[in-house]
Chain A
Amino acid sequence: MRKRDSKNILKLDRRILLAGVSLMVVLLAVFLTSFFKAPPSYYEMNGFTLGTYCRIVVSSKKSSKVLAQVIFNELERIYKKYNPNDPDSVVSKINGSDDWVDVDEETFVLLDAAVRFSKLTEGSFDPTLGELIQLWGFDRIAEKLPSRVPTLEEINEALKRVGVDKLELDSQRRRVRLLHGAKLDLGGIAKGYALDRAYQVAKEVDKDCTGFVEAGGDIRILGPKFGSRPWVVGVRDPRNAGSAIAYLYLTSGAVATSGDYERYFEVEGVRYHHILDPKTGFPSRGAISVTVVADNAVTADALSTAGFVMGSQWEYVVLEFPKLGGSVLMVTEDGSIRRSPTMVVYEQAR
């Protein structure tokens, strides 16, 4: 009887020991896995809209997949509405008329913002470059590659139809009019506006959602990574796509970059890119890349374009743009990197 008890106790001990070892191994595995790797709770959607590639990375208490689709649909809506190559777009409607055109509130506010940024940047940002962009052949960039430099006469003729003074806004009757054959092109601000709208619709669905939305290298932060950490944004080296020249750590706001390395053609060794100087009618010189961090994507988008156009006056851009709400990181033609003093805030990991 006693022998049997002793045997049972030993059996029990072995089982407890084995169970204990197994439990410890499982706990160790769980601990190491959770300690060394954060749980991947973000849903990622990739697609093409706004005339470029877009990426939505979002985490929500509600369905992240549904939220990503809601965001994508909003980007697509803005693209269709303001695409100058779409004959049904609002921009085509305004461009096709030489009289007042009634517009909805959204369009009026966007055009008003475009005019304001144009005045703030002394015309370096200009929403009326449609004619000039068409002349250079950068209007249907996805379909054809420009190959001809327009003559000086052609450029001077097109410049007669450029300038924010040729865009009239009537706030009383919420209507707009283009004068002297000017043509709208909201390429320097519509992408930023779409990203800000993406932020708004995302927050309407889930105010606590986090993540970011990227469209063609412009980024709107929805909220900190995993609720507390900054997103690490690499600033592309303008002459080496595979590497970064700086890293930004963002928990909110937006960042946009304008560069001469995406849309361009070369004639006799000279690079002609798509960011045109409204004063000369030629691709602007002085900068090869301008990155702007701002509270919202409209500001970042408009100021990155304006900063690029004003590249030859880099001191003004890096020192004055923070007063307009944008911190600047500029790469000048000689490869030097110039920064706003405020940029250091974003370049430190917190």
Chain B
Amino acid sequence: MNRRGKLFKKYDLFLVIVIVVGFFVFYSTRSREGRSVEVFVEGKLFMRIAAPGTYELCDGEKCLMKVVFDGQKVHVEDSNCPLKICERTGNVGPGGTIICVPNKVLIKFRTNVDTAVDVMTW
């Protein structure tokens, strides 16, 4: 059998499969929904939360609040500010924000899925 006459060698076929599979893995990873919560203090990223749990937000010895993330929603508990607007905001879903003006804290629920709403008026 003359192997030199074949268009594809095993190696070529393997390479094509790797490229095609690689592309689909890359694309499916890009399009999968990624959720995380970003906490900014005075405009600077302070904490990024990816796993569900309760996270205490402390600046030095001073604890500002607890950020509770269940994977689907995020809310604030035990804020030390006088207004408690951040607590009153309640649970916020993907694309939403929680704001504490006295502590200059911004909590953003990031998602790579288009939430359709660019900005909220309130």
Chain A residues in the interface with B (C-beta under 8 A): 6-7, 10, 13-14, 17-18, 21-22, 25, 28-29, 32-33, 36, 45-48, 51-53, 55, 57, 141-145, 212, 214, 216-219, 225, 231-236, 240-242, 244, 247-248, 255-257, 259, 261-263, 291
B57 contacts across to A, CB distance below 8 A = none
- A212-B118, A217-B122 known; 18 new pairs, CB 8 Å cut-off, are A6-B5, A14-B7, A14-B8, A21-B16, A25-B19, A25-B20, A46-B108, A47-B43, A53-B101, A142-B101, A142-B102, A212-B119, A217-B121, A234-B119, A241-B122, A242-B73, A242-B93, A262-B85
In contact, B82 and A25 (Cβ under 8 angstroms): no
In contact, A46 and B43 (Cβ under 8 angstroms): yes
B29 contacts across to A, CB distance below 8 A = none
Chain B residues in the interface with A (C-beta under 8 A): 4-9, 12, 15-16, 19-20, 23, 26-27, 30-31, 40, 42-43, 73, 82-85, 88-93, 96-97, 99, 101-102, 104, 106, 108, 116-122
Task: Give A144 to B83 CA distance when docked, in angstroms.
Answer: 7
In contact, A214 and B119 (Cβ under 8 angstroms): yes
B121 contacts across to A, CB distance below 8 A = 217-219, 233-236, 248, 255-257, 291
B91 contacts across to A, CB distance below 8 A = 242
A51 contacts across to B, CB distance below 8 A = 101
In contact, B120 and A217 (Cβ under 8 angstroms): yes
Task: Give A22 to B18 CA distance when docked, in angstroms.
Answer: 11
In contact, B99 and A53 (Cβ under 8 angstroms): yes
Task: Give A235 to B106 CA distance when docked, in angstroms.
Answer: 19
Task: Give A247 to B16 CA distance when docked, in angstroms.
Answer: 47
B58 CB → nearest A CB, Å? 19
B85 CB → nearest A CB, Å? 6
A232 interface neighbour in B7, B73, B97, B117, Cβ under 8 Å = B117
In contact, A261 and B96 (Cβ under 8 angstroms): no
In contact, B4 and A145 (Cβ under 8 angstroms): no
Task: Give A83 to B121 CA distance when docked, in angstroms.
Answer: 22
B57 CB → nearest A CB, Å? 16
In contact, B117 and A234 (Cβ under 8 angstroms): yes
B43 CB → nearest A CB, Å? 5
A32 contacts across to B, CB distance below 8 A = 27
In contact, A242 and B118 (Cβ under 8 angstroms): no
A212 contacts across to B, CB distance below 8 A = 118-119
B4 CB → nearest A CB, Å? 6
Task: Give A53 to B116 CA distance when docked, in angstroms.
Answer: 22
B30 contacts across to A, CB distance below 8 A = 33
A235 contacts across to B, CB distance below 8 A = 120-121
In contact, A231 and B118 (Cβ under 8 angstroms): yes
In contact, B31 and A36 (Cβ under 8 angstroms): yes
Closest 8 pairs between A and B when the two form their complex, measured CB to CB: A217-B122, A236-B122, A145-B82, A234-B117, A53-B99, A241-B89, A257-B121, A234-B120
Task: Give A236 to B89 CA distance when docked, in angstroms.
Answer: 11
In contact, B116 and A232 (Cβ under 8 angstroms): yes
In contact, B117 and A247 (Cβ under 8 angstroms): yes
A225 contacts across to B, CB distance below 8 A = 118
Task: Give A236 to B43 CA distance when docked, in angstroms.
Answer: 23
In contact, B23 and A28 (Cβ under 8 angstroms): yes
Name which residue of chain B comes closest to A304, CB basis.
B121
B5 contacts across to A, CB distance below 8 A = 6, 10
A39 CB → nearest B CB, Å? 13
A263 interface neighbour in B27, B40, B83, Cβ under 8 Å = B83
B90 contacts across to A, CB distance below 8 A = 240-242
A50 CB → nearest B CB, Å? 10
B80 CB → nearest A CB, Å? 12
Task: Give A13 to B82 CA distance when docked, in angstroms.
Answer: 75
A33 contacts across to B, CB distance below 8 A = 27, 30
